[in-house]
Amino acid sequence: MKRIFFLKTSTVFVILLATNVVEPLLAVENIPEITQNKVKKSSVIYAVSQKLENKGLNPDVALERASAIFAENIDTTIIKLHHLQTHPKLALNTDEMIEALAKRALFEKPVNLESYDSVTGFVQDIKGHNLTSKERDAIKEIVKLNSSFA
């Protein structure tokens, strides 16, 4: 018996490309990357809202309050918090920072990372004691650096 219809592999490949069957399969690979970028940007807000939910707030209210404490762009805020966290004279713990942010969100106190007084109060909340002169000097450096971001 003879084969009546024979397709070569190159013919099948051209048909798949022509019918756009392959293109959606390639696009699926990028979906986790896009989702991961959104999670990174909102991870601070998510962590603060989770702390508020653990304290008994409604999830919607917790998310609203966590978002409200940052008056500016979340990307800029993450950079400013990173400056605060990584300064060698302060040595702040991420969990302690999230806890202090949650406390401020609970009482609806905004966080201004460009104000010396606000950052000093924030660091004192985290440390739990009066700051040394080295720590206050470090805060001055951080505020100066944070003020340079637009």
pLDDT tens column, 72-119:
777 788 888 888 888 889 888 889 999 999 999 999 888 888 899 999
The mean of the pLDDT values for the chain is 79
Amino acid code (one letter) for 149: F
Which residue's entry shows tokens 């460009």?
114
pLDDT digits (tens, 9 = 90+) for 112-138: 888 999 999 999 999 988 999 999 999
14: in domain: no
Three-state SS annotation for 41-54 = HCHHHHHHHHHHHH
60: in domain: yes
Positive/negative CA dihedral, 126, 49, 75, 71: negative
141: in domain: yes
Q: How many domains does the chain have?
A: 1
In which element (H, E) is residue 145 found? Answer: helix 133-147
78: domain range? 42-147
9: in domain: no
Query: Could you count the other beta carbons within 10 Å of the beta carbon of residue 85?
Result: 15
- pTM for the full predicted model: 0.68
